[in-house]
Structure 1
Amino acid sequence: GKIALGKLSQALHYGAKVISIAGNFDEALAIARQIVEEHPLVLVNSVNPYRVQGQQTAAWEIIEQLGQVPDCLALPVGNAGNITAY
C-alpha cells in the first residue's frame, strides 16, 4: 500500500487491525465509512468536527503562551488535515 512503514508498524505495535485494500484513498475512505456504519466505531478523519475542535486547542495554547496571536505559524503537515484547526 501507500503508507509509510513506520506508521504501519506503530499501528500494528499497538494492536490495530489493519485492512489492506487494492485501491486509492477515496476507495479506502468509502470502506472505512461502511465499516463505521456497521459497527460501533467513529471515523476520526480530518473533517470530523470533534477532531478539529481538539486540534484547535493547540492554537489557543500558543496564543495563551505568547499573550497574543502570532504573526505567522509554521506547521508540520503530512496531508495538511491539521491545518483546518488553525
Structure 2
Amino acid sequence: QLQGLPARFTAVNGERFTVVVSDFQEVRHYKLTVHSKWRKKDGRLVAVGFYIANAPGSWKQFVRQELPAQEGEFSEEDIWDQYVGGRV
C-alpha cells in the first residue's frame, strides 16, 4: 500500500506500474513491478493497494528481515506469496 499520493494519481484496478521503494534509512532502493488492486481517496490524498508482480531478490531479503514470520503460523512460502507473485 502506498499512502499520501496526490489525488490526481488515478490508478485503475489492474493497471501496471513500476515503483521504487526505499528502506527505512533510504540506503537501499528496490524496483518493483506492481499492479493496482484498489484506490481510496482521503481528502486531497489517495492511498493505493498493489499486488507485487515482480521484485528483485534483495527485496525478498528485506521483507524477510523486516517482517519475520511468527513461528508456526504460516510457511515461508505463504508469507512470501503475500508480498511477491502470490495469489491474488
TM-score (norm 2): 0.25
User: Greater CA radius of gyration, 1 or 2?
Assistant: 1
Between Structure 1 and Structure 2, the one with more strand by share is: 2
Q: TM-score, normalised by structure 1?
A: 0.25
Q: Which has the higher helix share?
A: 1
